[in-house]
Chain A
């Protein structure tokens, strides 16, 4: 029989073009930057090859994974909390991670575990601790109430922010500079290490969440309706909460709290492909990844040879864009 769902929407085409756009982005952006006038000649030289393979390409891939993760977690947290304004940071994981990082910087501890600095280790520990605290507070008999989760997350964020200020107060000028620089977020990495750690996590979380796409759609009709349609609500909420938070914690530890990606990308793609998570969970992460690559490319070239923290770029592009989007939508209902 005929498909009763006529292909009037072009979201399939859009998703395919997003994937192609991502590939083009990954292939071209490493050749943008200081010292390159002729990409082919540049690649032929030995230093050129090294710059591309040890600096530029790893950084582009890393930026993609970070942007992909933040947009993906943004989408599922919005479904979990049944709120379009939720972000990967709404539940306070990033402030826990940030507190861990500033404590590591202040204490000046020089430890390393499998090649990771004390800042990263402390940040991951801070995130995990926050996840445990929030889960303990928010879990009630019936399920994870979105309202209680949001309230707990916001409160814990505020508490940790004040603790971060307190550590700032104790710190000297160099330490404070390093802390603020960390809090701005950045993707300056060398080599493939971070990406290799991040990749399996991203793939695992994505594979699981994508399987839940139809259940995520139903979850947005409320717990009772979702239960009656056969969704195991509590299990779904738990898995989204833990996998999303853990991935956010890892991303924040590696790249700092880069803002706006987890908010505007899901929102923008929701407007473009609709709220069906089977489409949204493909479109938003790919676009998030490409978007962050371009932001980072801008960040490292705009005041070359110096670099801007990428968090500033995402906020400066994302903020006004988001406002424009809201105004535009208000004017054309």
Chain B
């Protein structure tokens, strides 16, 4: 459903992405991994047209991205930035309700359907306990769950997340990946996560994209990408790779 063809992107004169080709099908759970500055965040920003590509084209269901209106795009793709701060104080419910914005037509205010979706997201993300509090007063982990709820309230078919679990404790890291996997399985949601947590990626994702220095290095199943030599070359550290006997997925330990 999503196709990136020969994508290039520069910040000023610094080339960030070079000749990226990527094809994503409906219902895939993809992790984008790679060292800092590899262009991972930039790549998902291009997919949601937060930034325009310098050359090449991105097709969403066969349609070039630039011809799709902002609201239409927001009904299909949801994006969670690495950091979000609100200049003013809003309650958790108000923040989640913002996810219903693309469904607003004209001056019509939010309707019963929108409120229903908000309530569903509150239950789904287990945030009932602080749903009436102000967003700015929450902890980092609580904020992240609210923002994911707000993104899911857009009812997207693709969700792009930029390091969604980096501020979360172990329980909530797993909880969020489980929810994403459940949505993928039940609603055929396409999930695309930029992450530094290779172990969670290996456990939950069915596809891993490894990037380095603005290029796509390897793209495939976790066991095809998470290989000793490949990771050592890309990250510049030695890694120990084994199989977790409980989950049967790969796990990776870096060592010095």
**Is the CB–CB distance between A221 and B84 below 8 Å?**
yes
Q: Give Cα A270 to B90, complex, Å.
A: 11
**Cβ-based interface call for B177 (8 A):** no
**Is the CB–CB distance between A228 and B88 below 8 Å?**
no
**Is the CB–CB distance between B90 and A1 below 8 Å?**
no
Pick from B74, B87, B94, B98: contact of A82, CB below 8 A: B87
Kindly provide the distance from the CB of A227 to the nearest chain B CB, expressed in whole angstroms.
Answer: 5
Kindly provide the distance from the CB of A55 to the nearest chain B CB, expressed in whole angstroms.
Answer: 39
**Cβ-based interface call for A305 (8 A):** no
Kindly provide the distance from the CB of B153 to the nearest chain A CB, expressed in whole angstroms.
Answer: 10
Residues in A with CB closer than 8 Å to B87 are: 78-79, 82-84, 220-221
**Cβ-based interface call for A172 (8 A):** no
Q: Give Cα A142 to B12, complex, Å.
A: 12
**Is the CB–CB distance between B101 and A230 below 8 Å?**
yes
**Cβ-based interface call for B14 (8 A):** no
Within 208-240 of B, Cβ neighbours of A (below 8 Å) are at none
**Is the CB–CB distance between A275 and B88 below 8 Å?**
yes
Pick from A224, A231, A274: contact of B101, CB below 8 A: A231
B100-133 contact mask (Cβ, 8 Å, vs A): 1 or 0: 0110101101101001101100100000000010
Number of A-B contacts (CB under 8 A): 97
**Is the CB–CB distance between A224 and B154 below 8 Å?**
no
Within 246-285 of A, Cβ neighbours of B (below 8 Å) are at 270, 274-276, 278
Stretch at the interface among A65-73, A102-110, A174-182, A211-219: A211-219
Count contacts on A: residues with CB < 8 A to the other chain. Answer: 32
Residues in B with CB closer than 8 Å to A319 are: none
Pick from B77, B81, B112, B119: contact of A224, CB below 8 A: B81
**Cβ-based interface call for B75 (8 A):** yes
Pick from A84, A217, A231: contact of B70, CB below 8 A: A231
Residues in A with CB closer than 8 Å to B106 are: 211
Q: Give Cα A317 to B122, complex, Å.
A: 44
A1-B112 in contact given A217-B94, A228-B78 (Cβ < 8 Å) = yes
A220-B86 in contact given A228-B78, A228-B79, A229-B102 (Cβ < 8 Å) = yes
Pick from B75, B93, B101, B107: contact of A5, CB below 8 A: B93
Residues in B with CB closer than 8 Å to A83 are: 87
Residues in B with CB closer than 8 Å to A79 are: 87-88
**Cβ-based interface call for B63 (8 A):** no
**Cβ-based interface call for B49 (8 A):** yes
Additional pairs, 14, CB under 8 Å, beyond known A220-B90, A230-B71:
A4-B115, A5-B93, A78-B88, A217-B94, A217-B98, A218-B101, A220-B87, A222-B81, A229-B74, A229-B102, A230-B72, A230-B102, A274-B90, A275-B88
Q: Which residues of A contact B (CB under 8 A)?
A: 1, 3-5, 8, 78-79, 82-84, 142, 211, 214-215, 217-218, 220-222, 224-225, 227-232, 270, 274-276, 278
